[in-house]
Amino acid sequence: MSGPSDFQPSNPALQWIERRLPILGLMHSSFVVYPTPRNLNYWWTFGAILSFMLGMQILTGVILAMHYTPHADLAFKSVELLVRDVNYGWLLRNMHASGASMFFFAVYVHMLRGVYYGSYKEPREVLWILGVIIYLLMMATGFMGYVLPWGQMSFWGATVITNLFSAIPYVGESIVTLLWGGYSVGNPTLNRFFSLHYLLPFLIAGVVVLHVWALHVAGQNNPDGVEPKTEKDTVPFTPHATIKDGFGVACFLLLYAWFIFYMPNYLGDADNYIPANPGVTPPHIVPEWYYLPFYAILRSIPNKLAGVIGMFSAIIILCFLPWLDAAKTRSSKYRPLAKQFFWIFVVVCILLGYLGAQPPEGIYVYAGRVLTVCYFAYFLIVLPLLSRIEKPRPVPNSISEAILAKSGKAVASIAVALVAAGALFVGTLQDARAEEGGTKPPGNSWSFAGPFGKYDRGALQRGLKVYKEVCSNCHALSYIAFRNLGDPGGPGYSAAQVAAFASDYKIKDGPNDQGEMFERPGRAADYFPSPFPNEQAARAANGGAAPPDLSLITKARSYGRGFPMFIVDFFSQYQEQGPDYVAAVLQGFEDKVPEGVTIPEGSYYNKYFPGHAIKMPKPLSDGQVTYDDGSPATVAQYAKDVTTFLMWAAEPHMEARKRIGFQVFIFLIIFAGLMYFTKKKVWADSH
């Protein structure tokens, strides 16, 4: 794209094509001989990382769509079943869900790099604006994708975000109805979101082509912000930039794989493992982490319309950045003041992200207002002012000169990079689950914790017994089929044992030839029958509170770990909040209600249940279930066993996930090492 190519393929067939469609020449001039500045640092590899992530999201997304059902009654179940039943379905889903977070993480680095090095300045304004358009499309795509699993957060996120448009005077309500295709978020909304979620990534890909085109017309910016002047200032894109980008992608894959294989639910919200319920809003509506700074701005402004305008302005203002910052010097490397304000701006964004995840009360509201002002002040006051008063340091005459002058700065740059990356995670992680007076559950030593965790077969089998004899009287386990009891990584029953277990159950089937329903013994393919025919019956039999389905309970329950534990958890791979909570609730019943706590009629005191008043009576007592293997028949043992069983029920492929994850990590570390040394060899002659 940098002018007419003199590329001539040697193969006659390719020559024939090239004369008629010069696509090879286009690729050759754009990605092979294209001159790329010699002084690019690793921040520039995020462009390649983003291209890779876009491809990854489209590939995994197209595949997930093969197994997904966009219907309000079936969507949640279809996502669960694709994770459980489809070959590698769990892997594909994790890749797509974590991939969205990785995509946004990379885009934020990419954008901040552009801001720091002044990549939006003349002649790259259109390139920058195309980037902002891509970012907006990404936000829309990410939002609609988050709605598709149709969990509680999906549903209420959709409700809250679409309601933003109701702030528009006069036509707001009509626009919202138009978006919904109904009088509330419902099946038509889900259907159109699915359609648009499939469409938008291809629009993004199209704008990316324009983005790359514009990039190749203006040429890449570089850390010194001086345009290449002679051939000595540039190196050919291939092999230099391709191998460097490849190494960058390999390193990024390590981070990505950490989420896919070890922390798949770390960035998600436990509430989204509860099926959408239009009658109950979760206590804290929190968007995905990548929207949090803007969500904080929305909530900081105590007027509906102004809040919505503020939020959208915070993004749109980026389009005007090339004109707000009129400084002639591009790179903040040579702008001592701009550099400091840049880092302050980064901290402001991170803090806004943190506030976006906090409940909108007390000090958080005021802090949010201050930071919102800071956010806009950076664009509207600081940058215009700096371009007038700041005295930049002298800029080198050429890129080669800048390289010669280079000293130990790279180390500092890497240090800053690590701090920034760490800080970004600190700021982005969600911590909204306020304790609400609940006591934090004690930790347990679970056999399935950690990178090599495995389910304890004995605990799974005992837990199944506890479920069958106690829990199943009220709680369904509707995503588990009897056949799952014989699956690898599960309780480890043989096919014959599974068939015998299943045949103890009466399954309703039909209609038969006479059109009547009938009961027959269970088969391996049947799912655990529910104790109640429908939710109303469950509610009526249990004092008004329907006992939740237990298939996902250990993933659908969590509790806030607070700062700094949630950062430690990222590295220690602690993700057993759900099992810890479930085990604690089972043991948290106390006959004596503490002073100052009132428990309504028909409820029971539980130390760990949020609000302490639980409708479930104490389910387990010592000696209630007889164990055949000599394990102690105590409540503590029952709770531990049944929680292990329910963790397996929530994630039957965990052992495969961790096993494959370990293999992937070994490979990626070796591969990244090879890429690093190859990159060094390729670049050896160029420095």
Partner 1 sequence: MTTASSADHPTRRDFLFVATGAAAAVGGAAALWPFVSQMNPDASTIAAGAPIEVDLSPVAEGQDIKVFWRGKPIYISHRTKKQIDEARAVPVASLPDPQSDEARVKAGHDQWLVVIGICTHLGCIPIAHEGNYDGFFCPCHGSQYDSSGRIRQGPAPLNLAVPPYQFVSDTKIQIG
Q: How far is residue 26's CA from residue 452's CA, in Å, rounded to a whole number?
A: 48
Q: Among residues 199 and 670, whose Cβ is nearest to partner 1?
A: 670
CB of 2 to partner 1, least distance (A): 21
In this structure, the dihedral spanned by the alpha carbons of residues 38, 41, 47 and 48, taken in order and rounded to 10 degrees, is: 80
Q: How far is residue 575's CA from residue 566's CA, in Å, rounded to a whole number?
A: 10
Q: How far is residue 175's CA from residue 304's CA, in Å, rounded to a whole number?
A: 16
CB of 458 to partner 1, least distance (A): 25
The type of residue at 1 is M
The residues pairing with 589 across neighbouring beta strands, listed in sequence order, are 606
Residues 6+ apart with CB under 8 A from 381: none
Q: Among residues 200 and 668, whose Cβ is nearest to partner 1?
A: 668
Q: Among residues 99 and 287, whose Cβ is nearest to partner 1?
A: 99
Q: Which two tokens stand for residue 285?
A: 């509506």
CB of 158 to partner 1, least distance (A): 27
Q: Among residues 60 and 430, whose Cβ is nearest to partner 1?
A: 60
Burial 456-485 (b: 16+ CB within 10 A, else e): bbbbbbbbbbbbbebbbebbbbbbbbbbbb
Q: Among residues 595 and 685, whose Cβ is nearest to partner 1?
A: 685
CB of 59 to partner 1, least distance (A): 7
Interacting residues toward partner 1 by CB under 8 A:
59, 63, 66-67, 81-82, 84-89, 91-92, 239, 246, 481, 483, 487, 513, 523-525, 667-668, 670-671, 674-675, 677-678, 681-682, 685
Q: Report which of 543, 499, 493, 553 is spatially closest to residue 521, judged by C-alpha positions.
A: 499
Q: How far is CA 444 from the centre of its chain?
A: 27
Surface-to-core class of residue 349, CB atoms within 10 Å of its CB (0-12 exposed, 13-18 middle, 19+ buried): buried
CB of 328 to partner 1, least distance (A): 37
Q: Among residues 117 and 261, whose Cβ is nearest to partner 1?
A: 261
CB of 671 to partner 1, least distance (A): 5
Q: Among residues 187 and 478, whose Cβ is nearest to partner 1?
A: 478
Q: Among residues 311 and 668, whose Cβ is nearest to partner 1?
A: 668
CB of 483 to partner 1, least distance (A): 5
CB of 511 to partner 1, least distance (A): 15
Q: Among residues 316 and 525, whose Cβ is nearest to partner 1?
A: 525
Residues 6+ apart with CB under 8 A from 460: 490, 491, 492, 641, 644, 645, 648
Q: Among residues 487 and 569, whose Cβ is nearest to partner 1?
A: 487
Q: Among residues 631 and 678, whose Cβ is nearest to partner 1?
A: 678
The residues pairing with 607 across neighbouring beta strands, listed in sequence order, are none
CB of 76 to partner 1, least distance (A): 16
Q: Which two tokens stand for residue 105?
A: 């993480």
Please name the residue ranges forming H helices in 270-408.
292-300, 304-316, 321-324, 336-356, 363-377, 383-389, 399-404
CB of 484 to partner 1, least distance (A): 8
Residues 6+ apart with CB under 8 A from 384: 324, 325, 326
CB of 61 to partner 1, least distance (A): 12
Burial 627-659 (b: 16+ CB within 10 A, else e): beeeeeebbebbbbbbbbbbbbbbbbbbbbbbb
CB of 681 to partner 1, least distance (A): 5
Q: Which two tokens stand for residue 670?
A: 């070796």
Residue 171 contacts residue 47 (beta carbons within 8 Å): no
Q: Among residues 51 and 624, whose Cβ is nearest to partner 1?
A: 51
CB of 668 to partner 1, least distance (A): 8
Q: For the packed helices 292-300 and 336-356, what is the interaxial angle rounded to 10 degrees?
A: 80
Q: Report which of 403, 168, 173 is spatially closest to residue 304, judged by C-alpha positions.
A: 168
Q: Among residues 261 and 608, whose Cβ is nearest to partner 1?
A: 261
CB of 246 to partner 1, least distance (A): 8
CB of 64 to partner 1, least distance (A): 9
Q: How far is CA 563 from the centre of its chain?
A: 19
Q: Among residues 71 and 339, whose Cβ is nearest to partner 1?
A: 71
Residue 129 contacts residue 319 (beta carbons within 8 Å): yes
CB of 443 to partner 1, least distance (A): 33
Q: Among residues 94 and 154, whose Cβ is nearest to partner 1?
A: 94
In this structure, the dihedral spanned by the alpha carbons of residues 267, 271, 274 and 279, taken in order and rounded to 10 degrees, is: -140
Q: Among residues 100 and 481, whose Cβ is nearest to partner 1?
A: 481
Instruction: List, in sequence order, every beta strand (DSSP E) within 510-662.
Output: 518-521, 604-605, 613-614
Q: Which two tokens stand for residue 424?
A: 């970004």
Q: How far is residue 432's CA from residue 428's CA, in Å, rounded to a whole number?
A: 11
The residues pairing with 234 across neighbouring beta strands, listed in sequence order, are 37
Q: Report which of 143, 191, 148 is spatially closest to residue 289, judged by C-alpha positions.
A: 143
Residue 33 contacts residue 236 (beta carbons within 8 Å): yes
